[in-house]
């Protein structure tokens, strides 16, 4: 796997995995375990990095407030308040487990529905919707921005990307933008906020033991192919197919060598 972006070569590709509420029983499977599995498919872990996303992209020092005052004033952006705690306050031996959960920093992950009726859950749900709205508004502002507005934000957006999303918004004004807005903020967070320190999800199995094989079975009329991915002693069928080779009754020149080189004509009539 080589880092590519359409026709443009890039030095590194970073794959962000959005964090899931730890109270979700499948949070580990769809976060760290999924990330390690994805990282395992990469031949070079230096050029393609899989990492967990920054859970606080809407913070006051985050990417939204590094794009200039114009977008902040136009969208009335306001950073959520994150309550910090000391080590003593975070110690379960000092405070009860329920109080520790209530005082923890609110993250940008979707709240769990387990305690939907509680006051804490309602507050978390309200904060989550506010952050999603900010992500949606920021993305819409950038794709609809003029050249002057982009210069003010010190951003450059491909014309094809802007035109695509403008057509989407014209055809369906209610198109969902919050998730793609989160993805944009994650990418800007890497560029604008200097978050170069990250924890890479290193695969459990070294990539040197990963290889991919392509097998062909050629017959007079049809050729079959299959792609096998091998990781240690695990074999995964990635893809397979067939196409009409139409080799029957075709004339071939077969060259072989002993003491002399002979030209032998053969006709393919059977497998």
| Full DSSP string of 57-112 | TTSTTSGGGGS-HHHHHHHT--PPPPPP--HHHH-TTTS-HHHHHHHSPP-SSPPP
Share of residues in the chain with pLDDT > 70 (%): 68
- The reply to whether 80 and 134 lie within a common domain is yes
Distances (CA, A) of 133 to 82, 161, 180, 204, 211: 18, 21, 12, 38, 44
- Residues whose CB is less than 8 angstroms from the CB of residue 264 and which lie 6 or more positions away in sequence, other chains included: 253, 254, 255, 256
Q: What is the pLDDT of residue 139?
A: 95
- The reply to whether 111 and 75 lie within a common domain is yes
What is the spatial distance between Cα 266 and Cα 25, in angstroms, rounded to a whole number?
Answer: 64
Q: What is the pLDDT of residue 114?
A: 55
Cross-strand bridge partners of residue 17:
52
- Give pTM, 2 decimals: 0.57
Q: What is the pLDDT of residue 1?
A: 46
- The reply to whether 134 and 21 lie within a common domain is yes
DSSP category for residue 11:
S
Give SS3 for 31.
coil
- The reply to whether 170 and 253 lie within a common domain is no
Tokens found for residue 57: 């992209």
Q: How many Cα atoms within 13 Å fall on the side-chain side of residue 266? A: 11
Stretches in the chain below the pLDDT threshold 50: 1, 89-90, 92, 94-106, 205, 259-268, 270-271
Kindly give the pairing relationship between strand 48-52 and strand 13-17: parallel
Q: What is the pLDDT of residue 199?
A: 60
- The reply to whether 162 and 222 lie within a common domain is no
Distances (CA, A) of 134 to 111, 128, 149: 17, 10, 18
- The reply to whether 92 and 186 lie within a common domain is yes
In a domain, 200, yes or no: no
In a domain, 198, yes or no: no
pLDDT digits (tens, 9 = 90+) for 100-128: 344 444 455 555 555 555 666 777 788 88
In a domain, 81, yes or no: yes
Q: What is the pLDDT of residue 8?
A: 64
- The reply to whether 89 and 214 lie within a common domain is no
- The reply to whether 95 and 53 lie within a common domain is yes
In a domain, 247, yes or no: yes
| Residues spanned by the domain of 108 | 4-192
Domain count for the chain, please give it.
Answer: 2
- The reply to whether 80 and 145 lie within a common domain is yes
- The reply to whether 137 and 65 lie within a common domain is yes
Tokens found for residue 197: 């320190």
- The reply to whether 118 and 141 lie within a common domain is yes
Q: Which of 192, 215, 231 is the last residue of a domain?
A: 192
Q: What is the pLDDT of residue 67?
A: 93
């Amino acid at each position: 796997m080589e880092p590519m972006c359409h026709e443009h070569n890039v030095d590194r590709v970073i794959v962000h995995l959005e964090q899931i509420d730890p109270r979700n029983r499948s949070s580990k499977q769809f976060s760290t375990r999924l990330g390690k599995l994805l990282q395992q498919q990469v031949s070079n872990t230096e050029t393609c990095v899989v990492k967990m996303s920054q859970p606080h992209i809407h913070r006051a020092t985050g990417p939204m407030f590094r794009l200039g005052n114009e977008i902040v004033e136009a969208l009335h952006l306001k950073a959520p308040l994150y309550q910090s705690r000391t080590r003593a306050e975070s110690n379960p031996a000092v405070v009860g487990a329920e109080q520790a959960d209530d005082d923890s920093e609110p993250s940008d992950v979707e709240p769990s529905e387990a305690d939907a009726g509680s006051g804490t859950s309602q507050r978390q749900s309200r904060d989550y919707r506010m952050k999603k709205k900010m992500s949606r508004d920021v993305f819409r502002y950038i794709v609809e921005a003029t050249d002057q507005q982009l210069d003010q934000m010190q951003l450059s957006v491909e014309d094809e990307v802007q035109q695509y999303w403008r057509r989407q918004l014209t055809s369906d004004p209610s198109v969902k933008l919050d998730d793609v807005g989160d993805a944009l903020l994650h990418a800007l967070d890497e560029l604008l906020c200097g978050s170069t320190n990250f924890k890479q999800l290193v695969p459990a199995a070294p990539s040197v033991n990963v290889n991919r094989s392509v097998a062909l079975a050629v017959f007079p009329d049809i050729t079959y192919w299959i792609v096998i991915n091998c990781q240690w002693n695990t074999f995964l069928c990635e893809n397979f197919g067939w196409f009409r080779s139409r080799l029957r009754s075709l004339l071939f020149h077969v060259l072989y060598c002993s003491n002399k080189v002979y030209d032998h004509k053969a006709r393919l009539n059977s497998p």
